[in-house]
Amino acid sequence: MLKKIFSRYTPLQIAMHAYAWSVLVILVFELITGNLSANPIQELEQRTGRHAITLLILSLACTPLNTLFKWTELLKRRRALGLYAFLYATIHVIIFFNLDYGLAWSLIAQTIFEKPYIIVGLIGFILLIPLAASSFDLWKKRLGKRWKRIHQTIYFIVPLVLLHYAWGKKGDFFALQGEIIRPLVYTVIAVILLVMRIPPVRRFLASLPSRILLLLRKRGTQSETIA
């Protein structure tokens, strides 16, 4: 059985699916066994939110990492990572509307207006829907050039979701106060990944391995002539 799995799927594929599903299984298990925390709904909300953003950033990392390391398999994993991110974001949103607020729409509306970070999260989630829906090959073909434009909204969605995260934590980035470490780490990683996609930066990164190789060869021949 294990041999069959390893011959059929790559280690990266196995790691990705194992991570995505094990998190869900652990969450459900902890919920059923009452091992979550004193505030299980909040814990569920926070953990699903964090996994959604982690998976979103992992899907964003595929293209720049392929540019740098020429690891083309990463490009094949982007879609699944993005869809897993959407799955966790959906669970996160359902927990908020259903478990947390019991679909009490007037209370939900009041909370949304009182807490602007919720509006930011809501916009982020709404914008994720067309991305997830059009991620399949059929839509890629049907939408043609528009597909790329739709998927470029990710550059807007990621900062929105990060703002939702940092704002929700009530930290102060500028005064370096509050629970800012985790949102700050995610933001720094996302900024690096987004910068790596800027065309001149991407071109530089693509040529980096051959530049390093050339430099190493030059050094090698220099030390040979000195010897």
Residues that bind ligand HEM (CB under 6 A): 42, 45-46, 49-50, 52-53, 56, 89, 92-93, 96, 118, 121-122, 124-125, 128, 161, 164-165, 168
CA-CA distance, 47 to 36, in Å (whole number)?
A: 10
Q: Which is nearer to ligand HEM, 77 or 164 (CB)?
A: 164
Q: How far is the CB of 210 from ligand HEM (least distance, A)?
A: 36
Q: How far is the CB of 175 from ligand HEM (least distance, A)?
A: 19
Q: Which is nearer to ligand HEM, 62 or 93 (CB)?
A: 93
CA-CA distance, 114 to 111, in Å (whole number)?
A: 5
Beta bridge partners, 177, equal 172
Asked whether 20 and 84 are in contact (CB, 8 A), the reply is: yes
Q: Which is nearer to ligand HEM, 118 or 150 (CB)?
A: 118
Q: How many other C-beta atoms can be found within 10 angstroms of the C-beta atom of residue 60? A: 24
Q: Which is nearer to ligand HEM, 42 or 202 (CB)?
A: 42
Q: Point out the residue whose Cβ comes nearest to ligand HEM.
A: 49
* Measured CA distances, 6 to 13, 18, 22, 23, 73 (Å): 10, 13, 18, 21, 16
Q: How far is the CB of 122 from ligand HEM (least distance, A)?
A: 4
Q: How far is the CB of 93 from ligand HEM (least distance, A)?
A: 4
Question: Which residues lie closer than 8 Å to 130 by C-beta, 6 or more apart?
Answer: 150, 153
